[in-house]
Amino acid sequence: MGGKEAEASKPRGLFWWLIVLIIGALVVTTAVLTILRDFHYFKKNRPPSHPISKKYADALEIALQFFDIQKSGKLVGNRISWRGDSGLQDGSEGNLDLSKGMYDAGDTMKFGFPMAFTATVLSWAILEYGDQMNSVKQLAYAQNSLRWITDYLINAHPSESVLYIQVGDPEVDHKCWERPETMSERRPLIQVNTSFPGTEVAAETAAAMASASLVFKKIDPDYSNSLLTHARQLFTFADTFRGSYSISVPQVQKFYNSTGYGDELLWAASWLYHATQEESYLRYVTELNGKNFANWESPTWFSWDDKLAGTQVLLSRINFFGVKEMSTVENLCLQLYRKTAEAIMCGLLPDSPTATSRRTDGGLIWITEWNSLQHPMASAFLAIIYSDYMLTSQTETLYCSGNSYKPEDLRKFAISQADYVLGTNPMKISYLVGYGSSYPQYVHHRGASIPADADTGCKDGFRWLSSDDPNPNIAFGALVGGPSLNDSYLDSRKNVKQGEPSTYNTALIVGLLSGLLTTSSVAKSYP
**Which residues are known catalytic residues?**
444
Element housing 507 (H / E): helix 503-515
Backbone φ, ψ for residue 53 (5° rounding): -80, 115
Which of 144, 166, 158 is CA-nearest to residue 64?
144
Residues whose CB is less than 8 angstroms from the CB of residue 446 and which lie 6 or more positions away in sequence, other chains included = 106, 107, 108, 177, 178, 179, 180, 461
SS3 165: strand
Spell out a b/e string for 41-75, using b for 16 or more CB atoms within 10 Å of the CB, else e: eeeeeeebeeeebebbbbbbbbbbbbbbbbbbbeb
State the alpha helices, DSSP H only, in 294-402. Answer: 308-321, 328-348, 374-392
Q: 383: how many CB neighbours lie within 10 A of its CB? A: 27
| First-to-final CA distance of the chain | 69
Which of 269, 260, 257, 288 is CA-nearest to residue 206?
269
DSSP letters for 100-136: -SB--SSSS-EEHHHHHHHHHHHHHHHHHHHHHHHHT
* Integer CA distances (angstroms), 446 to 22, 111, 236, 298, 456, in order: 76, 17, 38, 40, 11
How far apart CA 499 and CA 481 sit, in angstroms, is: 5
Q: 300: how many CB neighbours lie within 10 A of its CB? A: 16
DSSP E strands in 109-227: the ranges are: 110-111, 163-167, 189-192
Q: Identify whether the C-beta of residue 446 lies closer than 8 Å to the C-beta of residue 461.
A: yes
How far apart CA 61 and CA 131 sit, in angstroms, is: 15
* Integer CA distances (angstroms), 375 to 248, 270, 274, 383, 396, in order: 28, 22, 25, 12, 27
Q: Identify the bridge partners of residue 365 per DSSP, sorted by sequence position.
A: 359
Q: 79: how many CB neighbours lie within 10 A of its CB? A: 11
Which of 253, 96, 227, 223 is CA-nearest to residue 162?
96
Backbone φ, ψ for residue 164 (5° rounding): -80, 125
